[in-house]
Structure 1
Amino acid sequence: MLDCLTRLDSLKRPRLLSRAARMGARDYRRNVHLPRLLGYGPLPRHGEAMMRLLEMEDELNTRRTEEGTTYPMLRHIDVLIALVGEARILRASQAELR
């Protein structure tokens, strides 16, 4: 199985979704955004959060391709923002360990 960063890097999404996620990730705050998406309670570790977000994103992308305009696009963007934000945090923490 691919690790979560590799899975994120291999996602192929429409340019507009990708751009919205990158722009939104600038203001990403883990303690505010993750509970809205994953539920309230203790926040999971970065890798676990990314795996859960990747599962959610996969489901939303399937709905995007099958349902067209009736799928929850804003939710999809929120999940992508959280994915990019978590990836940035995870990569920064890995760089500090080196």
Structure 2
Amino acid sequence: MDKPVSLTAAIRRPRLLLSAAQHGCLSYNRTRDLPRLLGLLAPLAMAEGLELLIGAEQTMEDKRKTGDATYSITRHIQLLAALISEVRLTNAAQGS
């Protein structure tokens, strides 16, 4: 996997979507939110959580771009907020 910082730098999303996600980071709680978003019973290790979040967010982005009827902007914002928060936590743990 690439360095977490480069992953978020490579994400190109509409400004309003990213702004909403950044506000969502303020209330992110890994223990509560990660299992709910990924359908797990307990939080995973940071690297595993990041991998799953990247995949889930990319799926949402594909749905957004294609106009899929199952697209949920709320879920997309929550996934982006979790992804940004997990990258920040990973960077803090690595001492970046």
- CA 41–85 in structure 1, closer or farther in 2 if over 3 Å, else same: same
Q: 1:39 — aligned with what?
A: 39
Name the count of aligned residue pairs: 96
SS at match of 2:51: helix
TM-score (norm 2): 0.88
% same residue: 34
CA distance in 2, matches of 1:70, 1:39: 17
Retained in 2: the 8 A contact 1:21–1:80?
yes
User: Where do 5+ consecutive residues of structure 1 fail to align?
Assistant: none
User: Where do 5+ consecutive residues of structure 2 fail to align?
Assistant: none
Q: 2:52 — aligned with what?
A: 52
Poorly superposed stretches of 4+, deviation over 6 Å: none
Q: 1:13 — aligned with what?
A: 13
Retained in 2: the 8 A contact 1:35–1:41?
yes
Retained in 1: the 8 A contact 2:31–2:42?
no
1:68-93 CA-partner distances (Å, limit 9, x unpaired): 67621101001001001111111111
Q: 2:64 — aligned with what?
A: 64
Amino acid at match of 2:47: G
RMSD: 1.9
TM-score (norm 1): 0.86
22-31 vs 63-72, which moves further: 63-72
